[in-house]
Structure 1
Amino acid sequence: MSLVPGNDYSLARPLPETVSLINRLYDRGHRIILFTARGYVTGIDWAETTRQQLESCGLRYHQLMFGKPAADYYIDDRMISLEQLKDQFGQ
């Protein structure tokens, strides 16, 4: 959803196409849960910064969750990549 230079989340900038896609899914009645690993490794609390960024870019969601373990890959039986979402629901 954003570009993060040097893992400094205070500098994160939204990807407008991704925000638009997620908002369309939200508007169509899909439940949007954001699950982030922000701060998992460093112990920095990015919650308020993240909430402000999401509000500022107008991203609509139902729930924001922190504490996702940092990993190289996530395997999930309900997982879909942003590219797959774009293919399925359009730009």
Structure 2
Amino acid sequence: MNILIDIDGTVSEDIPNAEDYRFANAKVLDNAVESVNKLYDAGHHITFFTARLTKHREVTEQWLKKHKFKYHALLTDKPSGGRYIWIDNLDVKGIKYKNNWEDILKKI
């Protein structure tokens, strides 16, 4: 399964691009590393999809490495804010993160 995961407010504290100086030392959210790595180890393709800009790619990759997140790809420049609608010819499932990675794992 292909799994897209946001970064800010999902695996790290929510930091706006205007405060990019905070990215390197962002707090990891509870159970985020363990949960993402569990999905990776189960054979899922993990892609982080973030509204952080291309210019933030290096600091973001370093942060993910520092905290030992396992993943396959990082996509930047996601449109920020608002609601997302994904239209595809394949099955699509969305899960809203509500401060609990255990609930997310149960829904996958």
**TM-score category of the 2 structures, normalised to the smaller one:** 0.7 to 0.9
Alignment match, 2:8:
none
- How far the C-alpha of 1:45 sits from its partner, in A, is 1.1
1-structure distance, mates of 2:25, 2:14:
6
72, 79, 82: which is aligned to 2:94? 79
In 2, the alpha carbon distance for the partners of 1:48 and 1:28 equals 27
Q: CA deviation at 1:10?
A: 3.2
Structure 1 residues 6-17: aligned runs within 5 Å? 7-8=19-20, 9-17=23-31
Q: Structure 1, unaligned stretches of length 5 or more?
A: none
Structure 1 Cα separation of the partners of residues 15 and 77 of structure 2? 21
What TM-score, normalized by structure 2, do the two folds share? 0.65
Please say if residues 21 and 86 of structure 1, whose CA atoms lie closer than 8 Å, have aligned partners that are also in contact.
Answer: yes
The residue number in structure 1 matching 2:62 is 52
One-letter amino acid matched to 2:71: Y
1:13-52 correspondence to structure 2 within 5 Å = 13-39=27-53, 45-52=55-62
The Cα shift of 1:71 comes to 2.0
* 1:19-51 alpha-carbon deviations (Å, 9 max, x no partner): 110100100001111111013xxxx71111000
CA RMSD of aligned residues (A): 2.4
Is contact 2:31-2:101 (8 Å) kept? no
Per-residue deviation at 1:85?
5.7
- TM-score scaled by length of structure 1: 0.76
